Structure 1
Amino acid sequence: MTAPTDPQIDPQIDRYAAERRRLKAMSKPFLNDEFLEGPPRFRGSDYRQPRLRRSTFDLKTLVFESRLGGGDDGFVWKVRFGNEGPFAMKVFWDQVPPQEVGSYYPMQRECQNAAVLQMMEAAVANEPVLVYTHPYGKGDAHENYFSFCEENAISKLGIKADPKTLPSGTKLITEIPRLAQCYGWVKFPSDTLEGLPISLQATHDEPHKVKKLVGSHMDCIAIVYEFIEEGKNSLGPVEKVDNFLWFAGFAYANEPEEKSWRSNVLVDHSEIIHTRGYGWNEEDYMDRSAEQIISDEDLEHEMDPDYNLS
């Protein structure tokens, strides 16, 4: 005879299991101490546990120029390293995995995303990558994701880069759309942020987030990105990026928002999740549209036959 189940207990057991999975995911390393010099390795093992390489910039030459703003995950500054720049540098509020049940680790997510996109760029530069034309669901997303690894290169699979002879339902990725370049991670004392002029200090609607980071008196990790100038977004270029992310197995973490894009470039990489990342959701993978990203006003202009797309 099967023991009766208590509906008030079983969900709690499921939550415990989910929390164990979360903690296990949060414990995975995501930083590589190797310097970001040259293209990365892109083997299957690298995609299973992506790690972002260290920036080559000299921290002694770091100069904060202005605040670009922040959100739930962290704060972004416009910076330079000596005569190089400008760059966008993002420092995360949580420098260790958050304790809240069900929460993700923003620094881990962004470092992994950046590492994956760099590997995919290296794979496509090596030779075209074969993916499903209409990936549907977790299985197809997973296969497309690993199509970018070295072991699945078309030359090793005996497939010619000829669209006429490709397996049915597949296509070749021959180029990567315009993405914000990542220059790796840097580490510096959090006291550096505390010593900034008031006009440059981090702010947030919840002051405890700033205090937890700035008042920690510990080293903190930041990611350095290409600085993208403010500019309007257009449907065509945004859709090109969105399609690539779909083919590559990325889901959106939230409903896509225009504020996460500048000049047709995705600048907030916490908005996406690679298929091996914590929080990847099949529904969020499938439910996407570039029209969700473009404001109604800009979309109306684009649909006007006289609108200049150049």
Structure 2
Amino acid sequence: MPGMDRYAAESRRLLSMSMPFLNEELMKGTPRFRGQDLRDPRLRRSTLDPKAIVFESRLGGGSDGFVWKVRFGDEGPFALKVFWDQVPPHEPGLYYSMQRECQNAAVFQMMEASLDVDPVLVYDHPMGRKEAIENYFSFCEENCRPNLLPNATKPAALPGATYISTLPRLTKCYGWLKLRKDLWSGLPDDMQASHEDPSKVKRLMSSHMDCIGVVYELIEDGENDAAAIEELDRFLWQAGFAFTIPPNLKDWKNGIMIDHAGIVHVRGYGWNEDDYMKRSVEGMLAGLDDGTDIQDDEPLAPE
């Protein structure tokens, strides 16, 4: 029954939207990366002081939120992203962008912590959800090779398997922070957020509660490198991530992916096996190779 299918899908969405994704623990030191942490990824709180924030310029925005270049006292510059939806969206089928980006950032930090201990053994060409999940949990502490093979040298990978030794270059995340609700009214007009859909801006600016922002490394403009893009694409596939939209050069600067809303980890809402298996950056790289500048109406910014 199609109606019941839609009801079940919406029930699953609402359940996923209710999952916590923020950790009150300050982002100091290495995060835990146990199996439970990967099942329930939560981004730690930034050590930066929101009271010391200084807005320097607007970087632009898109469907998920708006991004500014900011400093915190003498620290920075950084890219600050604030999401239009500070609560889960009501419209059926929509993902919660703030939840997705915070979860992705937390997962990347845990995977980096795992790789700092030892290389991770994964399926070289994972096929489908089952193998994506197995690869994903290969990064957990319980599956670290020193725990499984104490005092043993690194064994050769079996046919169909490979070792991941390092995390590709990613935009660094400095955690989430809470911004007071009257912050926006104090910004000059040339610093205000904007979008072609005024309702998105109104949703954020008219909120009566403090809002959450995520702080990222500020990536400067630079030439994109096909090898770096291919390296990250392969890592995302082997680590269990799927692209939710076709990859586009507008989401990259200097060979670094700056928009993490278009990917989702295998435990996240919106992960789809068809998207996972159909992943390809070939069209994007073809545009890069022939000098075509694949652009979008929105400015380049971590989105």
Unpaired segments of 5 or more residues in structure 1? 1-9, 303-310
| Offset, 1:251 | 0.4
Mapping 1:143-154, distance limit 5 Å: 143-154=134-145
CA distance in 2, matches of 1:175, 1:257: 24
CA distance in 1, matches of 2:84, 2:43: 19
| Offset, 1:178 | 0.5
Larger radius of gyration: 1
Does 2:5 correspond to 1:14?
A: yes
Q: 1:140 aligns with which of 119, 131, 147?
A: 131
Q: With structure 2 as the length reference, what TM-score do the two structures score?
A: 0.93
User: Contact 1:252/1:284 (CA < 8 Å) preserved in 2?
Assistant: yes
Does 2:99 correspond to 1:105?
A: no
Shift of the 174–260 alpha-carbon distance from structure 1 to 2, 3 Å rule, reads same
Partner amino acid, structure 2, of 1:77? W
| Offset, 1:216 | 1.2
Larger CA deviation: 78-87 vs 165-174: 165-174
Question: 1:241 maps to which residue?
Answer: 232
Cα offsets for 1:156-201 (capped at 9, x unmatched): 22285646x2222111111111100000001012321232111110
Question: 2:21 maps to which residue?
Answer: 30
CA distance in 1, matches of 2:126, 2:187: 47
Cα offsets for 1:140-162 (capped at 9, x unmatched): 11000000000111122228564
| Offset, 1:207 | 0.5
CA distance in 2, matches of 1:273, 1:60: 32
Does 2:258 correspond to 1:300?
A: no
Q: 2:117 aligns with which of 123, 126, 137?
A: 126
Mapping 1:189-200, distance limit 5 Å: 189-200=180-191
Shift of the 195–118 alpha-carbon distance from structure 1 to 2, 3 Å rule, reads same
CA distance in 2, matches of 1:24, 1:301: 44
Query: Aligned with 1:191: secondary structure?
Result: coil
Question: 1:167 maps to which residue?
Answer: 158
Question: 2:173 maps to which residue?
Answer: 182
CA distance in 1, matches of 2:283, 2:149: 39
Mapping 1:244-259, distance limit 5 Å: 244-259=235-250
Partner amino acid, structure 2, of 1:138? R
User: Contact 1:190/1:213 (CA < 8 Å) preserved in 2?
Assistant: no
CA distance in 2, matches of 1:86, 1:129: 34
Q: 2:71 aligns with which of 80, 83, 87?
A: 80
CA distance in 1, matches of 2:179, 2:108: 25
CA distance in 2, matches of 1:188, 1:162: 47
Q: With structure 1 as the length reference, what TM-score do the two structures score?
A: 0.91
Paired-residue identity, %:
59
| Offset, 1:104 | 0.6
Query: Aligned with 2:32: secondary structure?
Result: coil
| Offset, 1:293 | 2.9
Question: 2:46 maps to which residue?
Answer: 55
CA distance in 2, matches of 1:258, 1:212: 29
User: Contact 1:189/1:217 (CA < 8 Å) preserved in 2?
Assistant: no
Unpaired segments of 5 or more residues in structure 2? 293-303
User: Contact 1:161/1:172 (CA < 8 Å) preserved in 2?
Assistant: no
Question: 1:229 maps to which residue?
Answer: 220
User: Contact 1:142/1:275 (CA < 8 Å) preserved in 2?
Assistant: yes
User: Contact 1:235/1:290 (CA < 8 Å) preserved in 2?
Assistant: no
CA distance in 2, matches of 1:240, 1:58: 35
Cα offsets for 1:260-304 (capped at 9, x unmatched): 1111111111011000000001111122223333362x31369xx
Aligned length, in residue pairs: 291
